Amino acid sequence: SENLAETKALVIPLTDSSGNALSDEKKAEYKTLAETYYKQVTEEGKTIDEIITEFNKVANEGSESSASSSSDASQDTSDSIANPNVMLIQKDNTQVPSKFKEKLFSAAADEVFLQTNDDDNYYFVAKKLDVTKDTSVLTQYRSTLLQEMKSDEYRAKIEKWSEEVELKVDEKAIAA
């Protein structure tokens, strides 16, 4: 669908856990890392999942406990989520950086792309997936997607119904 895209992406934040911008040195390091990962996927045959795992190790470097707990957490969620690294993105989603969405929606299915625009506060190495190829993700998020996609229509229908309701005041019941 032209309004919905499925992607698997390594998302590298350019802010720390408190929302503060990373240093220029750290951004440069992450940009080089993103470019390296992009080459590994496009030229060396690595998967997006493999580079996500590698980046998580780099990001958690020096903190053994958080590295192990994050891998434990991903194992727990993999049972309930078919593929935790797959994202469904709506074209009108305002929470997703616009430059990333532009590249995603203009990419061909199975195309891998690199997004290193500092304005977005993230670097991405992403692969656009064919949303029609594996419908398990769509099925899994169907109700959430329907709520998001149809919420305006639903609200309008409820408002119309509420306007059509004829209210009658039962004076006898109130007096009693």
Confidence of residue 132 (pLDDT cuts 50, 70, 90): confident
Rounded Cα distance, 118 and 120, in Å: 5
Q: How many CB atoms lie within 10 A of CB 44?
A: 7
Task: Compute the radius of gyration of the chain from its Cα atoms.
Answer: 22
Highest mean pLDDT among 35-44, 76-85, 87-96, 115-124: 35-44
Predicted local distance difference test score (pLDDT) of residue 136:
65
Nearest alpha carbon to residue 147 among 135, 155, 136, 158: 155
Q: What percent of the chain has pLDDT over 70?
A: 78
Tell me the pLDDT of the chain averaged across its residues: 79
Rounded Cα distance, 154 and 93, in Å: 18
Rounded Cα distance, 30 and 13, in Å: 9
- pLDDT for 97-108, tens place per residue? 888 888 999 999
- pLDDT for 49-66, tens place per residue? 999 999 988 887 744 433
Q: Which tokens belong to 128?
A: 């656009």
